[in-house]
Chain A
Amino acid sequence: MKSVFITGLSGDLGHEIARTFAPDWEVWGTRHQEQIESSPVHLVDCDLQNRESIEAALQSWSSQVDDPAVVIHAAGSPSQGLLHHYTEEEFDQLLSSHLRSSVWLAQATGKIFFPRKAGHLIFISSLAGLRPRVGQSLYSMVKGGMNSLTRSLAKEWALKQIRVNAIAPGFIESKIINQQTDQVRTEMINQIPLRRFGEASEVGQLARYLASDSSSYLTGQVIHLDGGASIS
Chain B
Amino acid sequence: MNESETILNRIREQISESLGIDSEEVHHHSRLVQDLGAESIDLIDLVFRFEIAFDMKLPENFHLDEVRQGRGDLTVQMIAEDIEQRLSA
Q: Which residues of A contact B (CB under 8 A)?
A: 110-111, 114-115, 156-157, 159-160
In the bound complex, what is the Cα–Cα distance between A156 and B44 (angstroms)?
Answer: 11
Contact yes or no, A115 B45, CB < 8 A: yes
Are A159's CB and B39's CB within 8 A?
Answer: yes
Q: Once the chains are docked, how many angstroms separate the CA of A110 from the CA of B42?
A: 12
A-B pair count, CB < 8 Å, reads 20
Question: Which residues from chain B contact A159 at a C-beta distance below 8 Å?
Answer: 39, 41-42
Interface presence of B52 (CB below 8 A) = yes
Which residue of B has the minimal Cβ distance to A158? Answer: B41
Residue B63 is within 8 A (CB to CB) of chain A in the complex? no
| Chain A residues with CB below 8 A from B48, complex form | 110-111, 114-115
- Tell me whether B41 and A115 are in contact (CB under 8 A): no
- 8 A-B residue pairings within 8 Å (CB atoms): A110-B44, A111-B48, A114-B45, A115-B17, A156-B41, A159-B41, A160-B41, A160-B45
CB of B40, distance to nearest CB on chain A (Å): 9
Interchain CA distance A157-B44 in the complex, whole Å: 11
B28 within 8 A of A: no
A207 to chain B, nearest CB (A): 26
B49 at interface by CB-CB < 8 Å = yes
